Amino acid sequence: MPLALYALTAGAFGIGVTEFVIMGLLIQVGADLGVSIPSAGLLISGYALGVVVGAPVMTIATARWPRKTVLLALMAVFTIGNAACAIAPDYWTLMAARVLTAFAHGTFFGVGSVVATTLVAPNKKASAIAVMFTGLTVANILGVPFGTWLGQGFGWRSTFWAVTAVGVVAFAIIAAFVPKDRAAPEPSSLRDDLAVLGRLSVLVGLLTTVLSWVGVFAVFTYIAPMLTKLAGFPDAAVSPILLVFGAGLVGGNLLGGKFADKWLMPSLFGTLFVLAVVLVLMTFATHNQVAIVVFVGLLGAAGFATVPPLQMWVLEKASGAGQSLASSFNIAAFNLGNAIGAWLGGAVIDHGPGLSAIPWIAGLVPLAALALALFNQWLDSRQARLVPVAACPEAAE
């Protein structure tokens, strides 16, 4: 893999840290700014909303720019946004700075995915996407625990200053190693870019992404109470166990990329099915400490194994004009799935069977994603059979 690809990984690492590190600093942020912990928790929701809104807005705004320029501009937004977080005098300023930072997220991963596929041979495109997303997984294993430790020891603002420094380094690495390119292979209008979102296969791909990550985050959002209240672990054991989840993320992500390079659609169907099975079987492991730790790792692996085939599928369906826009929308779809998954898990706790039922209910959602993907594949194969008849009517006689 070329050095330029690892430059994208560095940017992904910084973005991953700033997205998730706030989870470990809610108490410190709330105490310092004089807000409740639930109010501080809305800083996570605000970031997710910024990703969903910012992905199409930033991609459309920079559609005519060279892709390297886009990546550098996004890292500049990311760096300035984190510096603004570090000096925010009050809660609402911090919220605005978080949303600003999130605007870089979706388009960076969307455009970065397109750039990554241009840096490697055709048979390694999914692996290239997986390598870039490794930055996000490593952020969960190393960056978030370190950022949490730094914030707890030296104040939460120190964490955002550290992430600002990561942004400066990532900007320099991308500037040095990512090659220059044109804005797009062929000139295209905004109408052409938006038209890609009217393709049924692209819309199905986006919905499949949402559904797959609803299942993952319905469980992951409430993994701490599952470990403490159901499995009986002490609070201090949660962080080390989450390292197992992070290791699963890295392994699953890279394996998903390898398989998707060889067999894209079988990998897509297979990873969705495995994710559903892991979630359902996790139901029977929640009261056994050894089993639940194993399944935490399997959840990370199965969840992130879906990322390369899902992203590659949307890129293939959106080939040509609008590919970067569709890719960015797919990143927004992952984040929308995160938000819906957190809501679903909470609904199961408050209005349903309770905490222990979350895994099997969550497992039904990737099964719905699998059914949708299979239906789309059937439509594609049916259309492929009809095209020769439409192009050559005498063949039907």
Residue type, 333: A
Region 107-135: mean pLDDT is 82
* 101-110, 145-154, 377-386, range with the lowest pLDDT: 377-386
| 21 DSSP 8-state letter | G
Q: Which amino acid is at 135?
A: G
| pLDDT tens digits, one per residue of 181-235 | 654 445 556 666 677 777 788 888 888 989 988 888 888 878 878 888 888 888 7
Other beta carbons less than 10 A from residue 252's beta carbon:
27
Is 150 in the same domain as 224? no
* Residue-wise pLDDT tens digits, 330-346: 878 887 887 788 788 88
> Which amino acid does the sequence have at 132?
M
How many alpha carbons fall within 13 Å on the CB side of residue 274?
18
Residue 393 has pLDDT above 70, yes or no: no
Tell me the two tokens of residue 350: 């408050």
* Arithmetic mean of pLDDT over the chain: 82
> Are residue 314 and residue 360 in the same domain, yes or no?
yes
* Residue where one domain finishes, among candidates 156, 183, 210: 183
pLDDT in tens, 135-168: 877 887 777 778 878 887 888 899 999 999 989 9
Of the ranges 91-95, 125-129, 237-241, the best mean pLDDT one: 91-95
Q: Which of 202, 204, 196 is nearest to 375 (CA)?
A: 204
Domain count, the chain: 2
Q: Which band of pLDDT confidence, cut at 50, 70 and 90, is reported for residue 31?
A: confident
Report yes or no on 358 lying in a domain.
yes
Percent of the chain with pLDDT over 70: 90
In a domain, 41, yes or no: yes
Residue 14 lies in a domain: yes
- Are 134 and 200 found together in one domain? no
Checking if the pLDDT of 86 tops 70, the result is yes
Q: What is the mean pLDDT of residues 78-94?
A: 93
Tell me the pTM: 0.75
* Distant-in-sequence, close-in-space partners of 58: CB < 8 Å, separation ≥ 6: 74, 103, 104, 106, 107, 328
CB atoms within 10 A of CB 185: 12
Residues 353, 347: Cα–Cα separation, whole Å: 9
AA identity, residue 50: G
Choose the weakest-confidence range: 9-13, 306-310, 379-383: 379-383
Answer yes or no: do 27 and 85 share one domain.
yes
The gap from C-alpha 164 to its chain's centroid, in whole angstroms, comes to: 21
Which of 183, 210, 245 is the last residue before a domain boundary?
183
Angle ∠(111,118,248) on CA atoms, nearest 5: 70
194 and 167 fall within a common domain: no
**Do the Cβ atoms of 170 and 271 come closer than 8 Å?**
no
Residue 107 counted as domain residue = yes
- Asked whether residue 313 is domain-assigned, the answer is yes
Note whether residue 196 is domain-resident: yes
Note whether 62 and 90 are same-domain residues. yes
Report whether 302 contacts 278 (CB < 8 A).
Answer: yes
The answer to whether residues 163 and 263 belong to one domain is no
User: Which residue type occupies 231?
Assistant: A
Q: Which of 38, 37, 12, 33 is nearest to 97 (CA)?
A: 33
Q: Which domain holds residue 373?
A: 185-382
- Rounded distance, CA 260 to CA 265, Å? 7
Describe the chain by its helix, strand, coil percentages, rounded to 5.
Answer: 85, 0, 15
**Confidence grade of residue 97 (pLDDT, cut at 50, 70, 90):** very high
Query: Residue 63: is its pLDDT beyond 50?
Result: yes
Q: What DSSP designation does 186 have?
A: S
Residue 153 lies inside a defined structural domain of this protein: yes
358 and 272, same domain (yes or no): yes
> Where does a domain end: 122, 156, 183?
183
Residue 389 within any structural domain of the chain: no
Contact 199, 316 (CB under 8 A): no
- Same domain, residue pair 270 and 161: no
- Taking a C-beta distance cutoff of 8 angstroms, is the pair 48, 339 a contact? yes
Q: What is the pLDDT of residues 344-359, one digit of tens each?
A: 888 888 787 888 888 9
Give the integer Cα–Cα distance in Å for 343 and 221.
9
Q: What is the pLDDT of residue 397?
A: 46
Q: Are 118 and 198 members of one domain?
A: no
Write down the pLDDT at residue 392.
Answer: 52
Is the pLDDT at 363 greater than 80? The verdict is yes
What whole-number distance in Å separates Cα of residue 330 and Cα of residue 352? 30
Contact 359, 279 (CB under 8 A): yes
Whether the pLDDT of residue 395 is over 50: the answer is no
> Sign of dihedral through CA atoms 143, 144, 145, 148?
positive
Residues 50 and 134 in one domain: yes
Q: What is the CATH number of the domain that holds 81?
A: 1.20.1250.20
Q: Which comes out higher in pLDDT, residue 210 or 41?
A: 210
Write the DSSP string, 205-237.
Answer: HHHHHHHHHHHHHHHHTTHHHIIIIIS---GGG
Residue type, 238: V
328 and 362 together in one domain: yes
Between residues 269 and 48, the one the model is more confident about: 269
Nearest to 237 by CA among 284, 282, 293: 293
Tokens read off for 38: 């639930």
Cα-based distances in Å from 278 to 14, 72, 244: 29, 39, 15
Task: Judge whether 373 and 268 are in contact, CB under 8 Å.
Answer: yes
Residues 6+ away with beta carbon under 8 Å from 296: 223, 227, 241, 242, 244, 245, 248
